[in-house]
């Protein structure tokens, strides 16, 4: 049985006078340690599917199974990293990175030390007692990564975590996140608008259509590319070819939707 299984998932949002079928018939499987990306036109349901996998939304139809357990609500097996870092401005970096541990009752000397070591590994040992406003966007996202990994989740959900950063910082952070996740053998799903980022970081890319969102096409990234860090992958001879292939498919979809 695969590590993560998304089985026949569809979701309808209801409002007072309306209902929106956001995603339909989503079937995905992910093996432990894999990194996959979801890309697609705006509104194709990328955030909806991540929220379902995180247990924040119960799907109208279908189910999600993580490591042989059905996901029925928010749980500590899943770590979520978003475009905004959501660090608490009134808490120090140290307090922020311990937050998840505290909330899940796992805060002790051992987990504290492990988390502080990870902060050091991210090159941020010196900011432990500072506040989030004293840090740059890239530093804050590194803190958010430490906080996400602190509780040792089985699965990481990354919703556009690099999109608010300048290009240089984004490339550096892609490499850091990639290497860190590989080192800890984490499984991850990335949602992004950036085709290049998806190619450089993933084993597989799922291209979604919209209205309603469903898997349109699957792109397998060759091992010679998926094994190397994103910065190198972006310079690999195969990178452009794959980029063009995905770009063409995405254009077709967007033309269908008159973007």
Ligand X SMILES: Nc1ncnc2c1ncn2[C@@H]1O[C@H](COP(=O)(O)OP(=O)(O)OP(=O)(O)O)[C@@H](O)[C@H]1O
State the residues that interact with ligand X by CB under 6 A: 13, 15, 20, 22, 42-48
- Residue 206 CB, nearest distance to ligand X (Å)? 12
How far is CA 63 from each of CA 7, 9, 40, 164, 219, rounded to the nearest angstrom?
5, 6, 22, 32, 24
For Cα atoms 107, 112, 116, give the angle at the middle one, nearest 5 degrees: 150
The two structure tokens encoding residue 211: 């209205």
When the beta carbons of 10 and 48 are compared against ligand X, the nearer one is: 48
When the beta carbons of 23 and 143 are compared against ligand X, the nearer one is: 23
Q: Count of CB atoms within 10 A of residue 174's CB?
A: 24
- Residue 171 CB, nearest distance to ligand X (Å)? 22
When the beta carbons of 98 and 208 are compared against ligand X, the nearer one is: 208
Element (H or E) spanning 66, and its range? strand 61-66
- Residue 208 CB, nearest distance to ligand X (Å)? 7
Cα pseudo-dihedral 175, 181, 187, 192, rounded to 10 = -30
- Residue 77 CB, nearest distance to ligand X (Å)? 22
Return the SS3 of 10: strand
Q: Are 54 and 157 in contact (CB under 8 A)?
A: yes
- Residue 81 CB, nearest distance to ligand X (Å)? 15
Question: On the CB side of 86, how many CA atoms lie within 13 Å of its CA?
Answer: 12
- Residue 175 CB, nearest distance to ligand X (Å)? 24
Return the SS3 of 4: strand
When the beta carbons of 189 and 225 are compared against ligand X, the nearer one is: 189
Q: Are 142 and 118 in contact (CB under 8 A)?
A: no
When the beta carbons of 46 and 147 are compared against ligand X, the nearer one is: 46
When the beta carbons of 21 and 228 are compared against ligand X, the nearer one is: 21
């Amino acid at each position: 049985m695969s590590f993560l299984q998304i089985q026949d998932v569809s979701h309808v949002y209801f409002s007072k006078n309306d209902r929106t079928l956001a995603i339909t018939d989503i079937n995905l499987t992910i093996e432990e340690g894999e990194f996959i990306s979801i890309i697609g036109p705006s509104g194709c349901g990328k955030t909806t599917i991540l929220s379902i996998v995180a247990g924040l939304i119960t799907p109208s139809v279908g189910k999600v199974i993580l490591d042989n357990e059905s996901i029925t609500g928010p749980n500590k097996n899943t770590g979520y990293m978003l475009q905004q870092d959501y660090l608490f401005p009134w808490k120090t970096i140290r307090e922020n990175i311990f937050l998840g541990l505290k909330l899940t009752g796992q805060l002790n000397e051992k987990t504290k030390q492990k988390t502080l070591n990870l902060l050091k590994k991210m090159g941020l040992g010196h900011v432990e007692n500072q506040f989030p406003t004293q840090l740059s966007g890239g530093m804050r996202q590194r803190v958010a990564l430490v906080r996400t990994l602190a509780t040792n989740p089985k699965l990481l959900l990354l919703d556009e975590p690099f999109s608010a950063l300048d290009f240089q910082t984004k490339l550096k952070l892609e490499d850091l996140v990639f290497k860190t996740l590989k080192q800890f053998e984490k499984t991850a799903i990335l949602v992004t608008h950036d085709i290049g980022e998806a190619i450089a970081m993933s084993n597989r890319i799922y291209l979604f259509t919209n209205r309603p969102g469903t898997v349109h096409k699957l792109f397998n990234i060759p091992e010679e590319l998926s094994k190397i860090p994103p910065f190198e992958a972006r310079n690999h001879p195969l990178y452009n070819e794959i980029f063009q292939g995905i770009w063409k498919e995405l254009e077709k979809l967007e033309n269908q939707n008159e973007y």
